Amino acid sequence: MNLKTKAWLVSQGMLVLTAVLIQLTFYKEIKFGPLLGMEKRGYWEIITETEPETPTYVLEKNLPPELYDARLPLSEDEIKAANLGAYHLSARQERGLRMAFAGGWIVNLIYFFAYHILVAYFSRAINQAKKKLES
């Protein structure tokens, strides 16, 4: 295995490890689901934006979404009145987790292209310098 491949694997591994640690930290901080009375959802449910299952008490009572869905753009007064504070925070944290996941992919793509462009540039520069020294 050549040096270029080894450097790529080590640096990419560190980048992926960092992204995984960020994801685990974000996920650990989530306490509830986005709907009133809901428990914390699974990681892949959050990442894939799977629609949460509406709790049975909501279906039985025919409540309007403003009283149980913390994902809606509600004012602070509406959030307090419906007792959705912790669930609103969880919904925001779920959005943050999805954004961090997408950001990790974007950073990896940028790094992929930047690494290969810079390796090609520096390899060419070193070869040109060697040719000048030889002549």
Give tens-digit pLDDT for 61-118: 888 999 899 999 999 999 999 899 999 999 999 999 999 999 999 999 999 899 989 9
User: Which domain, by its residues, includes 49?
Assistant: 3-134
Q: What total number of domains does the chain contain?
A: 1
pTM of the model: 0.81
Per-residue pLDDT of 12-47, as tens digits, reads 999 999 999 999 999 999 999 999 989 999 999 999
How far, in Å, CA of 62 to CA of 39, rounded? 20
How far, in Å, CA of 34 to CA of 54, rounded? 10
